[in-house]
Amino acid sequence: MAKPLALTSGEPAGIGPDITIKAWLRRDELKLPEFYLLGDRDYLSQRAKALGLAVPFADVRPEDAPAAFAEVLPVVATGHAATARPGHPDDSSAEAALASIRQAVADVASGRAAAVVTNPIAKSVLYRAGFRHPGHTEFLAELAASGGHTPQPVMMLWSPALAVVPVTIHLSLREAIAQLSSELIVTTARIVVADLKARFGLACPRLAISGLNPHAGEDGSLGVEDQTIVAPAVEILRGEGIEARGPLPADTMFHAAARNTYDCAICMYHDQALIPIKTLAFEDAVNVTLGLPFIRTSPDHGTAFDIAGTGRANPSSLIAALRLAARMAAAQPA
């Protein structure tokens, strides 16, 4: 029997419990991969009742989750109870969320789970509790550190229609431009290519590298960064045998015919990458962290406190994240 996926609880007061329950209820219809949720069974049971859903839960060990999955929603206890009401995080929220992430990573590292799938967290809640990372990705990189080396994580947003990677992520536009370098573009692209080969089964990934400025700088008349930063990075990648094109004008990279010419778009800053994929695949895009020694996927949305516990949360992105994690795990060499 295949190893299960380790699904974190995320922010308990958010929609993580809602979409987890809804996804499990569709397990047969959608032929979902087996997973277990790391969290508080009593809390989940209360949320199911609040949603008016009859869901059986059972505390299990990770290795017992696949056998239990057909009949119950398997829960692996973290030892941290959650008490927050839907939409109202409290003092239990931060440690409950962080404990589930730590344990999910430990379960994959020990071979008890195939991949980590994370429900959304509320960074503001974690920051008030002393969390010192910009977000999930950086925390996962720290958990993956070994021998004094911390891997460089790369954020990919994936959907069947489009995959994008922003070279700079959660920075102001001014700071993103200041931090952009040929070295950062090359390092990011190498990680993307390695994971597309190892975890997506692509023998020769094709990359489209966007320019930074409008019209990729218009030969320097709209900014020199595309000539001095982006173009040299593309040449380095091509010299390494990587199929990379660019710098390309970002405004013509994302129509259907253009998307057919590449496997992943490497973009220079956050919105340049995320606007097109959220336009094309808002309901089912998946956040994938590349560059880690384990697989991690996540729904491409936040905690949605305003609809938590109302029954209105859509599980589509979580379902896509579970499916993609299972696909990536199956593609890895044994």
Angle between helices 16-25 and 316-331 (to 10 degrees): 70
Q: By the 8 A CB rule, do 167 and 229 touch?
A: no
Q: How many CB atoms lie within 10 A of CB 67?
A: 13
Return the structure tokens found at 323.
Answer: 């499916």
Which residues, listed in sequence order, are joined to residue 21 by a DSSP beta bridge?
Answer: none
Q: Which residues carry a binding-site annotation for substrate? A: 136-137, 278, 287, 296
Give the CA dihedral 118, 168, 248, 218, nearest 10 degrees: 150
Q: Which residues carry a binding-site annotation for a divalent metal cation? A: 170, 215, 270
List C-alpha distances in Å: 293 to 62, 139, 140, 165, 322: 20, 14, 10, 18, 18
Q: Which residues carry a binding-site annotation? A: 136-137, 170, 215, 270, 278, 287, 296
CA-nearest of 188, 9, 2, 274 to 116 is 9
Interacting residues of 55 by C-beta distance below 8 A, sequence separation 6+: 21, 24, 25, 44, 45, 48, 73
